[in-house]
Amino acid sequence: MRTAFIQELLELAKQDSRIVFITGDLGFGVVQPFMEQLPAQFLNAGVAEQNMTGMAAGMALSGKIVFTYSIANFPTLRCLEQVRNDVCYHNANVKIVSVGGGFTYGAMGATHHAIEDLAVMRALPGLVVVAPGDPVEARAATRAIVAYNGPCYLRLGKAGEPIVHKSAIDFELGKAIPVREGRDATLISIGGILQNTVLAAEHLEKEGIQTRVLSMPTLKPLDFEAVLAAARETRAVFTIEEHSILGGLGTAVAEVLAETEGVKVPLKRIGVPPAFSPHTGSQEYMQECHGLSPAGIARSVSSTLRALLQSTASTGTRNV
């Protein structure tokens, strides 16, 4: 995803001199083409994320479209005050880009586990929050946030994520992307866990469970209609995110379901417990530890649906 983003941004920046890219002293193996081809639109702020964000806000208020870039926790949590007061309060046209969402940097420990960023960014007024599911979505999301006039947060993986969408997609901020259809349950995924979600759906199909899969690349604004359609048309809703179950996709979907009259459907949030992980290791290992591997997701969905069926059979009603 990171490579897809940089490549797309470079092409857009060649066409629009207002686009400026500021890095927090990392990613040079990927950003070097941008740096070499558009030196007047590139800046290295150093390991000084607060300054980077302040500079970006000032440049944006002078007419630029500014992208800040660093490892997930650093352009968000380390400089949260600047993001809130300099960028969001002034509705500055700054695009905050993080690489390494979730457990991408799992081997580097809790300081590099980005599992609260979506919740924190979602709470900030006026900030659009985007987390594409694969390189195809990453390219489309890059184009969309350049076109959008206002602050955005773009959460990426790192590199090597597989392409899930084998054909063109209709990407729009605030809209879910259908990946597959099913009547038994809906799996709503955000970010780079999309591939695992699709593989889990394929595993469930072998058990006779037909699942609808929705990629939700925009957390804010959320696609309310897609969530409500899933609640009305399938028997249960599951949210899958490589993020804390507090404040992210699961919370956003729960809010929609709780505040809509006449909608009663079981919801299960599949994600990371709201605690520092005691584990360190590769992203795949960390996903396995937290039940976010394809098999882990499938087990959680299957066991929840079995429990629902047993409850329905014993009471004769649809369990909520």
Residues 213 and 272 in one domain: yes
Q: What is the structure's pLDDT at 161?
A: 86
3 state DSSP class of 171? coil
* Cα dihedral: 237, 188, 119, 89 (round 10): -120
Those residues with Cβ within 8 angstroms of residue 73's Cβ, 6 or more apart along the chain or in another chain? 98, 111, 112, 113, 114, 117
pLDDT one-digit tens code per residue, 251-282: 999 999 999 999 999 999 999 999 999 999 99
190 and 123, same structural domain?
Answer: no
**Structural domain includes residue 167:** no
Tell me: cis bond preceding 221? Omega within 30 of 0 counts. Answer: yes
In a domain, 165, yes or no: no
- Token pair belonging to 20: 């400026």
Asked if the structure places residue 306 within a domain, the reply is yes
Residue 161 lies in a domain: no
- For residue 162, is it within any domain? no
* H-assigned helices in 38-193: 49-60, 80-82, 117-122, 135-147
> Do 199 and 139 sit in the same domain of this protein?
no
Distance CA 165, CA 292 (A): 20
Q: What is the pLDDT of residue 160?
A: 80
In this structure, are 137 and 186 located in the same domain? no
Question: Which of 124, 155, 186 is the C-terminal boundary of a domain?
Answer: 155
Q: Is residue 222 part of a domain?
A: yes
77 shares a domain with 188: no
Both 189 and 139 in a single domain? no
pTM: 0.94
- Sheet order of strands, 211-215 included: 177-180, 211-215, 185-190, 237-244, 267-272
Residues 7 and 83 in one domain: yes
In a domain, 71, yes or no: yes
- 9 with 111, same domain? yes
For residues 11 and 9, what is the distance between their CA atoms, to the nearest angstrom?
A: 5
DSSP strands (E only) in the chain: 19-23, 42-44, 65-71, 94-99, 128-130, 152-155, 177-180, 185-190, 211-215, 218-220, 237-244, 267-272
What per-residue confidence (pLDDT) applies to 315? 60
In a domain, 114, yes or no: yes
Beta strands 94-99 and 65-71, pairing class: parallel
Q: Do both 188 and 305 map to the same domain?
A: yes
Contact (Cβ atoms closer than 8 angstroms) between residue 152 and residue 96: yes
The answer on 203 and 150 residing in a single domain is no
Q: Choose the final residue of a domain: 98, 120, 155.
A: 155
Cβ–Cβ < 8 Å for 9, 97:
no
On whether both 38 and 149 belong to a single domain, the answer is yes
pLDDT tens across 50-102, in order? 999 999 999 999 999 999 999 999 999 999 999 999 999 999 999 999 999 99
Residue where a domain terminates, one of 104, 120, 155: 155
Q: How many domains does the chain contain in total?
A: 2
pLDDT of residue 278: 93
The CATH number of residue 125's host domain is 3.40.50.970
CATH number at residue 217: 3.40.50.920
Question: Which parts of the chain have pLDDT scores under 50?
Answer: 318-320
As a whole number of angstroms, the distance between CA 179 and CA 215 comes to 7
User: Scanning the structure block, which residue is given the tokens 């014993």?
Assistant: 314
Q: Do residues 7 and 150 both lie within one domain?
A: yes
| Domain with 225 in it | 177-315
